[in-house]
Structure 1
Amino acid sequence: MLSGRRILLIFGGGIAAFKGLDLIRRLRERGASVTPVLTGAATEFVTPLSVSALAGEKVYTDLFDLTDEAEMGHIQLSRVADLVVVAPATADLMAKMATGQADDLASTLLLATDTPVMIAPSMNVRMWEHPATQRNLATLRADGVSVVGPNEGDMACGEYGPGRMAEPMEIVGAIETALQDGPLRGKRVLVTSGPTHEPIDPVRYIANRSSGAQGTAIAQALRDLGAEVVFVTGPATEPWPQGVLVVEVETAKQMHEAVMSALPVEVGIFAAAVADWRVDGVSDSKIKKTKDGLPSLAFTENPDILAEVSQLKKGRPQLVVGFAAETDDVIAHATAKRKRKGCDWIMANDVSPETGIMGGSENAVVLISDQGAEEWPRMGKLDVAKRLASRVAEALK
């Protein structure tokens, strides 16, 4: 898929720069050529010699190098690639990109390019969560910059949380998606998937039978049409799709937060089986059996994610698609749900136990829109996903 593609790879100055060496190797294995650019800070973490040896190309570091400017000026260098990738994208580099600064070779290339740009952020969790970084991220996304990662985990500084640079193969998958010439290229799509788990106490929770198979298939189908996919998933049993940004959550409240953080998007597809209620007052310790009888559990409503996104006054996706898992009067209930929530489409299905759909490999859906109900034949979940992705592409034309 990447054979003959040209990648301009900019290394920011962070500990994750070492992952860039493996990224070069992975890209070249797939036939891509890589032209490396190192910031001054990046050379403190990786050497130009090691980068050049892996890339098989000259490494560019200095904006005012007379030889480099004579052979290939920085303006030309910024425009000969099929994609500009910044990995790691530090908080400093993101700030420069968002505000249009150009005080070194990397930032000048990024300001001068008319080539699509992708960033793989990497920084301390507090830096990532800082309002300034989040403002810069929103600006970059609005400018059309695609983002892969960051992931959550242990950091070199000893802290834990989001801020780890995406792994090289995740970035490769995102690059392959970005370079596809599908009808959804340049479109950012949000997909929710899987169940949510609502805790009762530290060892028990309320859940449902969703495997996440349909949501995963939808994310894959949209990715294959060139979309940049943000995949927000509960604790599903289905493996994650490759080449998309995965955000793991457990509860409905966490899914709500992840969804709102992912906006703006052109399309929102809400395939997750989100719990309608949660326990009001989760016990800090395991609830024990007593002679007094069964424990009493009080419930409270979870956020209505589909309705909130559908009814946004500002930043509403162009297309909002919900799902309705029903056990009776499927079309009637799904039609009422679409009107109540305010979404554009509802994908309704019968999940009665005898259908085998919940947790199974097949699905039989009815597409509910303002045009009425369109029944699809029973088919594999990947086929359902491909058909839905095709309809999404048509709707965005």
Structure 2
Amino acid sequence: MILSELIDYGTLRLIWWVLLGVLLIGFAALDGFDLGVGMLLPFVGRSDIERRVVINTIGPVWEGNQVWLILGGGAIFAAWPPLYAVSFSGFYLAMFLILAALILRPVGFKYRSKRDSMRWRSGWDWALFVGGFVPALIFGVAVGNVLQGVPFRFANDMGIFYEGSFLGLLNPFALLCGLLSVSMLVMHGSAWLALKTDGKISWRARDYGSVAALLTLVLYAAAGAILWTYVSGYRIISPIDPGGPSNPLLKTVVAENGAWFANYTAHPWLLVAPALGIIGAPATFLALRSKAEILPLLTGKLAIFGIISSVGVSMFPFILPSSIDLKSSLTVWDSSSSHQTLFIMLVVTVIFLPIIVAYTSWVYHVLWGKVDAAHVADKNSHSY
């Protein structure tokens, strides 16, 4: 017996759908507070030393956190090749802007304190703001477009044609999702600063985070209401074969309002996902106002888990719907790599993902504690 036959094709596809969600949530829960801290930097730090404290709260960990983005991109490339091809070609300019913004982060960290000039340092502070704001906004805009459907189609020879434009991605619902992403990550970054700093920086972070938490709740509720009322979801009306060939053109799909809520009707326990998103944001607000330290970070991660997982649960089995050729929509069942490829990748993941989690946990354990001005100002320290 071939080892890959121990797990059937349909189950492997479902496992990799779950793993993709885990990687994306892992990126938002870890690197998300790095992006949030970058957006808060010019506002919670009022002096050079305060801004250095803010930067050094994430300085030792941001590179490791960004590994989750690389893992997510790699998983899409290897497990869902058509998804990778469509998204990375259709969203090319958006991806370029994200990468350009992310490049500003390491450059900003390394070069900010190289010159004793307030104009120089202020410029890099705003570069770090851009490095947090642009990815947070565009990631949310991308999710908003995916929920509405993306203008692509497959030819009979499986050639991909994208018929949208960059400006077309900036539609009202997508921008609403982008603002939700920004507020969610600002809330999370505030919770991190509340944990890692003391005094005025922590107080300001709690104030900004409280506002961001309320905005997250309002924007999430608004996005859900619009999704229910105005945004057409998609539904497969032809027979579904979880172990069938990876050819999206073999199915029949219809668009209808409310389709993105059908999974909750069929399986009410799935309502846990949006409930966590709704509960997590106000819980973070209360935790920030109560002067708690680690609790706001945990409730912020709860909100992130609920908000992101609710998107995946609502869309299942779709992973990238097409708005111009419904049958070209990509689903969990018809856009994956081969059975053997998914199995080999699963074995590798089972071996290495726990190592990554264990190492990350160890790093946070070693670097636990608050960052203060005395440590940052010490010429013998390795601070930025």
Same fold by TM-score, threshold 0.5 exceeded? no
Q: Normalising by structure 1, report the TM-score.
A: 0.26
Larger radius of gyration: 1
Q: Normalising by structure 2, report the TM-score.
A: 0.26
| Larger relative strand fraction | 1
